[in-house]
Structure 1
Amino acid sequence: MIIIREAKIKDVNNIAKVHVDTWNTTYSDFIPKEELKCRTYEWQANKWMDRMFNNITKEFMYVAENSQGEIIGFASGETNKIEEKYDSILYTIYILKNYQRQGVGKRLFKVVADRLRSEGAENMVVWTFNENKSRGFYERLGGSLVDKKKIFKDKTELEEVAYIFYL
C-alpha cells in the first residue's frame, strides 16, 4: 500500500535520496557523469531545505511512502511562478525505479494538479529533458508539447521540453 502525504521537514534527507537515485537511474545516458557525481545526498538535502523549508519559494511537495514508511517518490509544484505564460508548474516528480509503472506517478501528479487547481490555477506546465525516456508519461496523462529551451549541464547543451495540462 502506497500512502501519499504532504512532505515534512523530517523527510528532507529521504527526499534527497530519492532525487539523487532517480537522477542516476533515469538520466545517466545523457547527463554528464561529473554533474551526477556532484549531486550527493547531502548536497541535495541542503538544496531542498533551502527551497522548501526556509521559505525561499511557495513550492509545496507531496511524498509517496511504501508500507514500511519509506519515501519512494515525491512531486512538487507552485502557482504563479516566474514563467508568466503558465498559471502553475509541476516542478518535480520522481519515483524510485522499482516503484515506477505502478500508478505512483499518476497519484502524485493528480494530488499536485488538484492542489494547484484549488489555488486558482487553470493550467500547469512541466519541463523535462527531451532525452528523458520517461517523458511519454506526460503524453499519456494528456499533456501537450508547447515549448522547448536549451540548457547547460556541466558544459553539455541539453534541450528541455514543456508539456501543458489544463486543470
Structure 2
Amino acid sequence: MEYQIRKAVLDDAKGIAKVHINSWKSTYKGIISDEFLSKMNIERGIERWKGRLKNPSEKYQVLIAVDDQQQIIGFIDGGQNRGEKDKYDAEVYSFYLLEEVQKQKIGSEMLRRFAEELRSNGFFNMIVWVLKDNPARTFYEKMGGKYLEAKCLEELSVEEVSYGWKDIRELTKEIS
C-alpha cells in the first residue's frame, strides 16, 4: 500500500477524528462497554482535534499517515509526559491505525518518525499507556518497549499497562 507520513495540520481534524472513533469501535469492542463506544461523537471529536492542532509546538506533535488518495489512515500524537516526568520525559498520548491497514509496517514507520520528531525537540525517552486487553499491545513489545507497570483506568473500568524506552534513539534503531 502506498502511504505518506506527515505532520498534521488544522484541516486534518475531521480525518483524525474519524480514524480515532473507527479505531476505538473496532479495537475496543468487547473491552470497553458498547454504551460508551456508541456515544462517541464525530462532531465532538473534530472539535477536540481542532483544539489540539490549533497551536502546534515542539512540546506536542501529531503525525498522520495518508493513503494515495490523501485519506487519513492513522495518526500518532504526544509530547511532554503528562505523568511522572522524572522517569520519562515524553509520552505517546494516542496512536491508531484503521483496522484494514494494520500489520503493513505503517505503524512501525509512524512510531520511528514520531520518536525522531521527539528527539529533535529535546526529548530523550518515552512512555506509552495501552489498554491491557488491547490486541495491539504486542506491537510495543516488538518495538522494544519494556513493560513498566499497570494501573486501573477507572472512568472506563479497564486496566492499562505502560511500556517505556529509556533512550528513544534505540527505538529508532529497533524499528529501522
Offset at 1:124? 0.3
**What corresponds to 1:160 in structure 2?**
160
Rounded to whole Å, the distance in 2 between the matches of 1:120 and 1:126 is: 18
Rounded to whole Å, the distance in 1 between the matches of 2:104 and 2:115 is: 19
**What corresponds to 2:131 in structure 1?**
129
Offset at 1:145? 0.4
The answer to whether the Cα contact below 8 Å between 2:9 and 2:53 also exists between their aligned partners in 1 is no
**What corresponds to 2:104 in structure 1?**
102
Offset at 1:56? 10
Does residue 1:143 correspond to 2:145, yes or no?
A: yes
Rounded to whole Å, the distance in 1 between the matches of 2:128 and 2:139 is: 11
The answer to whether the Cα contact below 8 Å between 1:50 and 1:56 also exists between their aligned partners in 2 is no
- Any residues of structure 2 matched to 1:21-100 within 5 Å, and which? 21-53=22-54, 58-84=59-85, 85-100=87-102
Equivalent residue letter for 1:105: G
Rounded to whole Å, the distance in 2 between the matches of 1:141 and 1:29 is: 26
Rounded to whole Å, the distance in 1 between the matches of 2:20 and 2:7 is: 16
Residues 49 and 58 of structure 1, relative CA distance in 2, 3 Å threshold: farther
- TM normalised by structure 2 equals 0.87
The answer to whether the Cα contact below 8 Å between 2:58 and 2:121 also exists between their aligned partners in 1 is no
Residues 112 and 57 of structure 1, relative CA distance in 2, 3 Å threshold: closer
For the residue of structure 2 that corresponds to 1:142, the secondary structure is: coil
Equivalent residue letter for 2:106: V
Deviates more, 1:40-49 or 1:20-29: 40-49
For the residue of structure 2 that corresponds to 1:133, the secondary structure is: coil
Aligned residues: 165
Equivalent residue letter for 1:158: V
Equivalent residue letter for 2:148: V
Which segments of 5 or more consecutive residues in structure 2 lack a partner in the other structure? 169-176
Residues 19 and 145 of structure 1, relative CA distance in 2, 3 Å threshold: same
Which segments of 5 or more consecutive residues in structure 1 lack a partner in the other structure? none
